[in-house]
Amino acid sequence: MSTNDKRIREFAYQIWESEGKPEGQDARHWEMARKLAEAEALAPSKSPKAAGSKAAAKAPASKANGKAAEPKTKAKPAAASKVIPPGEKANEKKPRAARKPPAV
């Protein structure tokens, strides 16, 4: 399986999960994932500053142990987390109203 196929599979799975794991939508999820992977491949690579990684923007890492420092967390693709199927609205969270103190 190629790297591109693995990426499409990851996107399709994320889409499927984000929609509540519906049955019978695999072809639509796969097509959406294929388009996302294609767009990701064609997009110009982001600079470390634009990606939000301060560690990557710094000069070469400290070599106290003779090893380069590795990032502590792995960033998730932004596109995959914001997939909204056609015809559906994004669920926007409404701010909560302040609670009133109980009546005495």
In this prediction, residue 24 carries a pLDDT of 93
Q: What confidence tier does 89 reach under pLDDT thresholds 50, 70, 90?
A: low
Cβ–Cβ under 8 Å, residues 15 and 27: no
Quote the pLDDT of residue 101: 80
Query: What pLDDT is recorded for position 47?
Result: 58
Choice between 103 and 10, residue whose per-residue pLDDT is larger: 10
Residues 29-74: tens digit of each pLDDT: 999 999 999 998 888 776 555 555 454 445 454 445 555 555 565 5
Closest CA to 61 of 46, 52, 72: 72
Q: Identify the pLDDT of residue 41.
A: 86
Q: Is the dihedral of CA 57, 59, 61, 62 positive or negative?
A: negative
Residue 14 has pLDDT above 90, yes or no: yes
Tokens standing for 83? Answer: 């997939």
pTM of the model: 0.43
Q: How far is CA 89 from the centre of its chain?
A: 18
